[in-house]
Amino acid sequence: MNFNLSEEQIAFRDVVRRWVNEELPKDLMRKLEADEENYPFEIWEKLKAQGFFGVGIPEEWGGLGGDVVTQMIFAREMARTAGGLLWVWGLTSFGGAKTIGAVGSEEQKERWLRPMAAGDLRVSLSMTEPDGGTDVLGAMKTFAEKVDGGWKLNGAKMWTTGARVADRLLVLARTDKNVEKNHHGLTMFFVDGKSPGITATLLPKLGMRAMGSCSVTYDDVFVPDCDVLGEPGQAWYAMLPTLNNERIMVGAQCLGAIDGVLEDALVYMKQRKAFGGIIGRFQILQHYVADIATSQKLTELLLYNVAWMQAQDMPCGNEANMLKMVATEAAVKAADLGIQILGGMGYSAETDMQRYWRDHRILRMTPISNEMVRNSIAENLGLPRSF
């Protein structure tokens, strides 16, 4: 079995790594992440100038091509310095483009994938209900009513990241209340972010601050029929193929964070002196580094295995859940150990360990909590449903 990247993939990784080191250094990422009021347009423009929004989008729609593995190579390299600011790229190039590519019509792909690939269209995902959290379907109150030429959308969403600057909002709403099961009667809308009736309010939070997560209200927002993705009422079935993608993306982000933690820890341990020598000679700190490096390798093997399965259109829902669970817990633990290694400087906003911890703690709860992931894995092993 060959787990190595191909020569082409290695060459792509090296190009991205050099670009990230030059254009997205950690000190710049710290500065931009700290500004919660302002979206990091500087990162967006750098990505656009280099053409990286086209990674994973087919060439026929103006992209650079590449499968899920290629996208994960990019995501890992960017997250090494950017951490949660990876989603400046991910929301549009991975979230929006993957959904449009999976369920969009040919006309919709022509209309939206080209500007996405060019970096001319920003996407925000508007799924979570205020009372729902993980229980998206059971708590779904956002409703769209059919009207002449389109739909009238009413409701509210939470944690809609980047909503204040989004050109398009990917909104999941109920369009039929008379259903036997919660996943029936749902429709996906690709809503113009500047439509009358949309109000986005910033939600201050612990990490990924500059990404600007928002609560969003939809008050009689008109959505034309041409902005419906897939068949009305069938959104859940259309979404299923994209759920694995999100978990794989989370895995790549976490692996990139572990990469960043490890390189910072090693540099500090070789330079910092205490008790007559460098602290890298202390056995307990060597154990911490060994644990971080081992979790890095475990996450890497899981990530590329699951991404490869997804690229081959193989069933990998259970494996994607395992990746999400392992990667998020490994990243948070690695960052916590990194803080311990750096001591007071690890707690300081002048270094990145605290940022890696803050940016990735949320991922143990989203897009699905790790507790729910464990429920799903157990259920797939033949145990009864626990919720």
Instruction: Pinpoint the alpha helices (H) of 272-316.
Output: 283-311
139 found inside a domain = yes
- What is the spatial distance between Cα 226 and Cα 232, in angstroms, rounded to a whole number? 11
Whether residue 386 lies inside any domain: the answer is no
Lowest mean pLDDT among 32-41, 97-106, 133-142, 222-231: 133-142
User: How do residues 232-242 score in pLDDT, each as one tens digit?
Assistant: 999 988 777 67
The two structure tokens encoding residue 303: 């990530």
What's 172's domain CATH number? 2.40.110.10
pLDDT band at 90 (very low <50, low <70, confident <90, very high): very high
Q: For 128-132, 298-302, 360-364, which range has the lowest pLDDT when averaged over its residues?
A: 128-132
Query: Which of 94, 121, 148 is where one domain is finished?
Result: 121
The pLDDT assigned to 180 comes to 84
Q: What is the mean pLDDT of residues 131-137?
A: 78
Let me know whether 296 and 330 are in one domain: yes
- Check whether residue 260 and residue 176 sit in a common domain: no
**Pair (105, 183) in one structural domain:** no
Is 371 found in the same domain as 285? yes
Do 170 and 215 lie in one domain? The reply is yes
Residues 99 and 133 in one domain: no
Residue whose C-alpha is closest to residue 319's, from 239, 381, 230, 236: 381
Among 296, 325, 321, smallest CA distance to 310 is for 321
The pLDDT value given to residue 241: 67
Residue tagged 């990019």 (tokens): 74
In a domain, 1, yes or no: no
Helix (H) or strand (E) holding 378: helix 370-380
- Give the CATH number for residue 328: 1.20.140.10
Q: Where is the domain boundary, 233, 261, 281?
A: 233
Average pLDDT over the chain reads 95
Cis peptide before 40 (omega within 30 of 0): no
Domain assignment present for residue 314? The answer is yes
What is the reported pLDDT for 381? 94
**Whether pTM exceeds 0.75:** yes
The 10 Å Cβ neighbour count of residue 36 is 16
Count other Cβ atoms within 10 Å, centred on residue 154: 17
Range of the domain at 325: 236-380
Tell me how many domains the chain contains. Answer: 3
User: Which amino acid appears at position 66 of this protein?
Assistant: G
pLDDT of 96 strictly over 80:
yes
Residue 88 placed within a domain: yes
Q: Which of 200, 217, 233 is the last residue of a domain?
A: 233
- Residue 330 maps to a domain: yes
In this structure, are 113 and 135 located in the same domain? no
Q: Which of 107, 71, 369 is nearest to 245 (CA)?
A: 71
Residues 240 and 212 both lie in one domain: no
Percentages helix, strand, coil for the chain (3-state, rounded to 5) are 55, 15, 25
Indicate the pairing of strand 228-229 with strand 186-192.
antiparallel
Q: What is the CATH number of the domain that holds 93?
A: 1.10.540.10
- Is residue 131 assigned to a domain? yes
Residues 6+ apart with CB under 8 A from 347: 339, 353, 354
- Do 79 and 206 have their domain in common? no
pLDDT in tens, 150-172: 999 999 999 999 999 999 999 99
Crossing angle (nearest 10°) for helices 353-361 and 26-34 = 50
